[in-house]
Structure 1
């Protein structure tokens, strides 16, 4: 799992978490305060399979109101393993499907 670290302002935290929940390759979100203490850990795969999105987003909103800045660690699976992601050969095939009709005209 690849882990990316972002510093997010509190007023932007809820919107950023919503964006990350929609990405297919994101597996885990860890919210830390500026001192580095873990405030919240979100397992995205369990949220996608259940109906617990609203309570989690309410907790994220409460954290955003209390902390001016947080460190958000985003755990992603590699793009090749992610469900719903295209492999390199599929991306190439789609690109060729777009380009080939253009060359047929000339």
Structure 2
């Protein structure tokens, strides 16, 4: 049925069932209203890797951010460099927007 329908219920026609003594059911039984959440609320996850993890002053390395699903709107302002002792250049996504370097 419709995801947001106020009348989403599951019904059973009790005439089609019987108890252990053979007594047929009467009428119907219905569930309470339910909703279907079709949104993925878990959000993306990321793995961050550095091509070189032992830099000396003045050296650079490629930093890769691999996401488990395509992302949009990712830029340097989303990255916290408080303990990084360095700077980050512009981020470039792959065509699928799952790998940003």
Tell me which interval the TM-score lies in, with the shorter structure as reference length: under 0.3
Higher-helix-fraction structure: 1
Ranked by relative contact order (alpha carbons within 8 Å, sequence separation 6 or more), the top structure is 1
**Bigger radius of gyration, 1 or 2?**
2
**TM-score, normalised relative to structure 2:** 0.26
Higher-strand-fraction structure: 1
